[in-house]
């Protein structure tokens, strides 16, 4: 039984499920090389079918996530056209106040009589299905459409390691099919929605996105920078910002609870007027505190109403690892699962799970969805592909190129001596977090590598921290994790152990000492595990600094050609490409 799940919105993604197990997942951006590419993910679908040796005829069901999405062109325009984005968000004090015309336009858009913004009119089901049937030559009755937040909840619960045991499931994002949050109870293969929060009054996602824009960063992409900046703010500046921002946006408890804008009129201008004169870092700190407090309050309220010691989280707001850290500290919580890269890209996975359950029901089979498991679900980098790139681009004439049977030992040697090595090997990981197969690695105890990576490779903002990959057996040496929570996807932040902090100083937040840790079990990625184990044998440190293998503003590399291209356009000294090592002379 083969199901193809598809998300067409922000960071369009395809996922392939075989007999209850997700066996392939990749985002279109990796192949188009356009960051957060939206639309029908044709290239990702083709790459996954090829990797899994499937043909379109093998696909039993295609499931599209979301019942109402804007045009593909509009989604990409609002992400890439800065002038249009400024007009859409009403950037500036000169933005006109919303009056009857604005309310009438909003009502007209809701009734389908007017576009809510130029080009934003939703695609019809026929148009969306047409992309699938035209590409895969499948009959239209094999294509179904499911609700946005149901997809988030399905990915979070069926992808969790809970094994069908009862759980509380929360979803929270900017907006999807008119909602920004849901609360569900789950057990076995049943999800029961208890509450649904409309996005019309506001959402935590829209609030944090507008603060991102207010601070001069790219909305829908740089929210993680606001989170990274927040700990630098002095307490007094954060308090001032909380008071100012709280007059514009707040959570209101109810059934359902609302995340609502307190002022009418242009929202950007309301935020700008409220924060004039406040410090840059203070605004970030205030926004982060408001988001954290709202999420924790909302989670507690859901637990009081519906119970559940297990908690599954999905939706883009839960990409905020600092908020997740606070939720993980709740006394009532027994087990926590945050779906990896839980923005809209994760809805391809949720859609695939839901399609599988429907097929089982139609066939009279007992469904048995499998947990999400290791995220190495994209195309592999094969030896023939690597050899072809080395030969075709004549790399040996410009670099030192050598093949190593024990490449992991060689990488460890270089991490000790030179400090920075890019690694491209095995199947590409799904999602926003590099998990070792498309990663830049460095010695975490050498604080100097932070400047090297930022200056020569990543061009990141100076305040942004890096993250560590830590061997499961060594986590207690570096992290404060009394409940032993798993963190295989870098979706949680942890306080660090003061005694072991110096060993990973380059891979923690320099201001608050937290780490967005990837805790690695050997069975999940044996070759990457060997790299860290070999590094540990040489240094005594059971961890490495791990950051995504890409240039700033670009998607992670996917292929051998992408890896070589990024290596040549950056200051990277070494590239471990499969079993080959390429070093600049």
Tens of pLDDT, residue by residue over 209-245, are 999 999 999 999 999 999 999 999 999 999 999 999 9
**pLDDT value of position 462:** 86
Q: Which of 299, 300, 301, 332 is nearest to 313 (CA)?
A: 299
Q: Are the C-beta atoms of 531 and 544 separated by less than 8 Å?
A: yes
Give the integer Cα–Cα distance in Å for 53 and 200.
44
Q: What is the DSSP string of 216-245?
A: TS-TTT-HHHHHHHGGGS-HHHHHHHHHHH
- Rounded to whole angstroms, how far apart are CA atoms 530 and 423? 13
- Percentage of the chain exceeding pLDDT 90: 91
pLDDT given for residue 54 in this prediction: 98
Tell me the pLDDT tens digit for each residue of 551-575: 989 999 999 999 999 999 999 999 9
Greater pLDDT, 228 or 120: 228
Helix (H, G, I), strand (E, B) or coil at 90: coil
Asked if residue 172 has pLDDT above 60, the reply is yes
Per-chain mean pLDDT for the chain: 94
Alpha-carbon span 455 to 420, nearest angstrom: 13
Q: How far is the C-alpha of 182 from the C-alpha of 192, rounded, in Å?
A: 10
Residue 584: CB atoms within 10 A of its CB come to 13
What's residue 111's pLDDT? 41
Q: Which residue has the tokens 């010695």?
A: 443
Give mean pLDDT, residues 110-129.
72
Residue 522 contacts residue 555 (beta carbons within 8 Å): no
- What's the rounded Cα separation, in Å, for the pair 518 and 488? 5
For residue 116, the model assigns a pLDDT of: 53
Residue pLDDT, tens place only, 488-513? 999 999 999 999 999 999 999 999 99
Helix (H), strand (E) at residue 180: strand 179-187
- Domains annotated for the chain, with CATH where assigned, are 2-161+344-375 (3.30.420.40), 171-338 (3.30.420.40), 378-584 (3.90.870.20)
340-351 pLDDT per residue, tens:
999 999 999 999
pLDDT per residue as tens digits for the range 356-396: 999 999 999 999 999 999 999 999 999 999 999 999 999 99
Please give the share of the chain, as a percent, with pLDDT higher than 70: 95
> Are 345 and 220 in contact, with CB atoms under 8 Å apart?
no
Q: Which of 535, 271, 567 is nearest to 424 (CA)?
A: 567
CA 109 to chain CA centroid, Å, is 30
For residue 305, give the nearest of 448, 464, 179, 194 by alpha carbon. 194
Residues 234, 235, 241, 244: what is their CA dihedral angle, to the nearest 10 degrees? Answer: -150
pLDDT band at 90 (very low <50, low <70, confident <90, very high): confident
- Asked whether the predicted pLDDT for residue 456 surpasses 90, the reply is no
- Beta bridge pairs of residue 167: 186
Other CB atoms within 10 A of residue 55 CB: 10
User: What angle, rounded to 10 degrees, do the helices at 407-417 and 526-539 form?
Assistant: 40
DSSP state letters, 347-383: HHHHHHHHHHHHHHHHHTPPP-PPP----EEEEEE-H
Smallest Cα–Cα separation from 475: which of 488, 461, 491?
Answer: 488
Task: Give the separation between CA 170 and CA 184, rounded to whole angstroms.
Answer: 6
User: CB count, 10 Å around CB of 359?
Assistant: 18
């Amino acid at each position: 039984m083969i199901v193809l799940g598809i998300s067409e919105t922000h960071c369009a993604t395809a996922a392939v499920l075989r007999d209850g197990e997700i066996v392939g997942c990749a985002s279109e951006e990796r192949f188009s090389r356009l960051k957060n590419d939206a639309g029908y993910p044709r290239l990702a679908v083709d790459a996954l079918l090829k990797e899994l040796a499937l043909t379109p005829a093998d696909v039993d069901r295609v499931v599209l996530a979301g019942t109402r999405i804007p045009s593909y062109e509009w989604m990409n325009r609002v992400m890439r056209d800065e002038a249009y984005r400024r007009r859409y968000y009403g950037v500036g004090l000169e933005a006109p106040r919303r009056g009857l015309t604005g309310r009438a336009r909003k009502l007209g858009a809701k009734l389908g009589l007017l576009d809510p913004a130029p080009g934003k009119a939703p695609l019809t089901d026929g148009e969306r299905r047409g992309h699938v049937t035209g590409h895969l030559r499948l009959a239209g009755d094999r294509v179904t459409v499911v609700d946005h937040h149901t997809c988030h909840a399905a990915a979070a619960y069926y992808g969790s390691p809970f094994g069908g045991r009862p759980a509380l499931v929360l979803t929270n994002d900017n907006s999807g099919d008119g909602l920004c949050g849901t609360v569900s109870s789950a057990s076995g293969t049943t999800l029961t929605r208890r509450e649904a929060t409309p996005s019309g009054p506001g959402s935590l996602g829209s609030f944090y996105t507008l603060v991102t824009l207010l601070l001069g960063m790219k909305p829908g992409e740089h929210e993680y920078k606001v989170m990274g900046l927040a700990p630098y703010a002095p307490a007094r500046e954060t308090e001032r910002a909380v008071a100012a921002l709280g007059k514009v946006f707040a959570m209101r408890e109810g059934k359902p609870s609302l995340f609502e804008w307190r002022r009418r009129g242009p929202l950007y201008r309301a935020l700008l007027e409220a924060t004039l004169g406040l410090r840059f870092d203070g605004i970030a700190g205030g926004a982060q505190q408001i988001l954290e407090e709202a999420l924790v309050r909302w989670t507690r309220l859901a637990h009081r109403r519906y119970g559940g010691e297990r908690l599954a989280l999905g939706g883009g707001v839960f990409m905020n690892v600092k908020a997740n850290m606070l939720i993980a500290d709740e006394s009532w919580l027994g087990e926590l699962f945050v779906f990896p890269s839980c923005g809209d890209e994760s809805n391809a996975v949720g859609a695939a799970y839901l399609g599988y359950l429907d097929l089982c029901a139609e066939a009279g089979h007992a469904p048995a969805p499998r947990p999400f498991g290791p995220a190495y679900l994209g195309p592999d980098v094969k030896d023939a592909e690597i050899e072809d790139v080395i030969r075709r681009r004549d790399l040996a004439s410009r670099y030192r190129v050598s093949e190593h049977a024990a490449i992991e030992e060689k990488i460890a040697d270089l991490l000790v001596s030179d400090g920075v090595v890019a690694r491209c090997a095995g199947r590409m990981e799904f999602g926003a977090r590099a998990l070792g197969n498309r990663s830049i690695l460095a010695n975490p105890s050498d604080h100097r590598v932070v400047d090297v990576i930022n200056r020569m490779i990543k061009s990141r903002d100076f305040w942004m921290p890096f993250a560590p990959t830590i061997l499961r057996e060594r986590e207690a040496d570096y992290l404060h994790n009394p409940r032993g929570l798993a963190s295989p996807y870098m979706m949680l932040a942890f306080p660090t152990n003061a005694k072991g902090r110096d060993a990973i100083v380059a891979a923690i937040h320099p201001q608050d000492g937290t780490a967005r840790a990837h805790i690695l079990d050997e069975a999940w990625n044996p070759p990457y595990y060997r790299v860290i184990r070999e590094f540990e044998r040489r240094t005594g440190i059971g961890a490495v600094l791990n950051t995504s293998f890409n240039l700033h503003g670009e998607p992670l590399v996917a292929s051998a050609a992408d890896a070589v291209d990024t290596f040549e356009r950056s200051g990277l000294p070494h590239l471990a490409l499969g079993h080959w090592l390429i070093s600049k002379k």
